[in-house]
Homo-oligomer: A and B are copies of this chain.
Amino acid sequence: MKISEQDKTALFLGIDGGGSGCRVRLCDGAGNVIGQGEAGAANTLLGLAKVFDEIQAATSQALAQAGLPADTIAQLHAGAGLAGLSLARERDSLATYPHPFATFRAEADAYAACLGAHGGDDGGIVVVGTGSCGLALVGGEVHTVSGWGFALSDQGSGAALGRTALRQALTEHDGIVGSTPLGRWIMAHFQNLPEAIFLWAESASPGDYATFAPWVFAAADDNEGSAMALLGRTAADIARLVEALIAKGAPGVALVGGLSKPILPWLPDQIRPMLVAARHDPLHGAIMLARSELVEP
C-alpha cells in the first residue's frame, strides 16, 4: 500500500527504542509534530513483548496529546530505530512479530539515528551512550563498527567507562596501585567491601555500569588525574570509531547519545575536522523510515 507524497491525511510515528528508554513522536502528513510519548527500555534483547508494551505505552501518550482515540494506532505508519536490531537473530524475530500499526519498518537504532543526523545523505554517526557503536551510510551502503555488546565491544561507551572506573577502584583498594579520590569515592559507595562490588556485578546491566560514568566526569572536573586519564582513553576509543567511519567513506561523522556532549572536550584534536553536527535527531530518522515504507519515492 503506497500513497503519494501529497496524501496529507496519513499519520506517521517515529520510535526510538534503546536500553534505557523508548521515545515516540507522532506527526501528521504535513510533518507537523502532534504528539509525543515516553516509556521504558525497548532494546530488543529485553524481549519483543516488552518492547511492544513500551512502544504501545508511549504511543498511547502521543495519541492522547494529539486528541486522537487510542485505536488510531491501527492507522499509524510507524518507523522505529531499535537497539538490538544490528543482530540478524533479532531482526528475524521481529519480522514475524505481530505489530499494532498499519505499516511498520524497523531498523537498528544507529541506522535511524544516522538517517536523522544527515537527513538521508551520506554520513556517519557514533552513538556514545550506555553502549557505543558507529554506523555510516555511504552511497546506499551501510557500514558498522563496534556495537557488539558490553562484554566484548562497545568501547568508548558509558558502560565501559563505568566498568573501567570500578576495576580501577578495586585495584586501588587491594593496594595493587596507589589510591585516588575517585577510587575511594567508588569504594565508599560499596562500603569499602570488594565483595559488595562483586555481588553487585553478578546482576549488573550495562545501564548499571553506566551510572558510574558521571562520577568519572565529576572527578575529572576536579582535575583528578586518574579520572582525566580514564576520559582520555574513552575519548581515544571514540576517536578510533570516528576515524574508521571516515576511512569507510563517510564525509563527516556526528556524535549522538547521552555522553556525546560531555566527552567533546576530551576528544583528540585530530578528529575535530571529521566531526559534523547532527541535522536532526534519531526520532526524525525514525519518521523518515516510516515514510520510506509508505511514500512513493
Q: Are B88 and A195 in contact (CB under 8 A)?
A: yes
CB distance from A6 to the nearest CB of B (A): 41
CB distance from A222 to the nearest CB of B (A): 24
**Residue A121 is within 8 A (CB to CB) of chain B in the complex:** no
B152, B201, B204, B247: which contacts A198 (Cβ < 8 A)? Answer: B152
A153 within 8 A of B: yes
**Chain B CB within 10 Å, residue with most, of A86, A146, A176:** A176
Q: How far is the CA of A135 from the CA of B144 in the complex (A)?
A: 44
The reply to whether A170 and B152 form a contact with Cβ atoms under 8 Å apart is yes
In Å, the complex CA distance between A115 and B209 comes to 37
Whether, in the assembled complex, A71 has its beta carbon less than 8 Å from a beta carbon of chain B, the answer is no
A201: chain B residues at CB < 8 Å are 149, 151-152
Pick from B148, B177, B194: contact of A148, CB below 8 A.
Answer: B194
Q: Which residues of B contact A152 (CB under 8 A)?
A: 163, 166-167, 170, 197-198, 201
The yes or no answer to A240 lying at the interface (CB within 8 A) is: yes
Does A89 reach chain B (CB closer than 8 Å)? yes
| B241 in contact with A176 (CB, 8 Å) | yes
* B170 lies within 8 A of A148 (CB): yes
- Bound CA span A87–B177, Å: 22
Bound: A197/B149 CA distance, A: 10
Q: Does A69 contact B (CB under 8 A)?
A: no
Given the complex of chains A and B, what is the CA–CA distance between A174 and B248 in angstroms?
10
For the complex formed, measure the closest distance between the CB of A174 and the CB atoms of chain B, giving whole angstroms. Answer: 4
- Please give the distance in Å from A132's CB to the nearest CB on chain B: 11
Chain B nearest CB from A231 CB (Å) reads 19
Closest CB of chain B to A297's CB: distance in Å?
Answer: 30
Contact (A146, B167) CB under 8 Å given A152-B201, A195-B88: no
Cβ contact within 8 Å between A175 and B87? no
- A153 (CB) vs chain B CBs: closest residue: B170
Interface string of A243-274 (1 = CB under 8 A from B): 01001100000000000000000000000000
Known: A176-B244, A177-B240. A167 touches B153 (CB 8 A): yes
Seen from chain A, the residues whose Cβ lies within 8 Å of a Cβ on chain B are 86-89, 144-146, 148-149, 151-153, 155, 163, 166-167, 170-171, 174-177, 194-195, 197-199, 201-202, 204, 240-241, 244, 247-248
With A145-B175, A146-B174, A175-B247 known, 14 other A-B pairs at CB within 8 A are: A87-B195, A88-B195, A89-B195, A145-B174, A145-B176, A148-B198, A149-B201, A149-B202, A152-B170, A153-B167, A153-B170, A174-B244, A175-B244, A176-B241
Supply 17 A–B pairs (Cβ within 8 Å), ascending by A: A87-B198, A87-B199, A89-B199, A145-B175, A145-B176, A146-B171, A149-B198, A149-B202, A151-B163, A151-B201, A152-B163, A152-B197, A153-B194, A175-B247, A175-B248, A176-B244, A177-B240
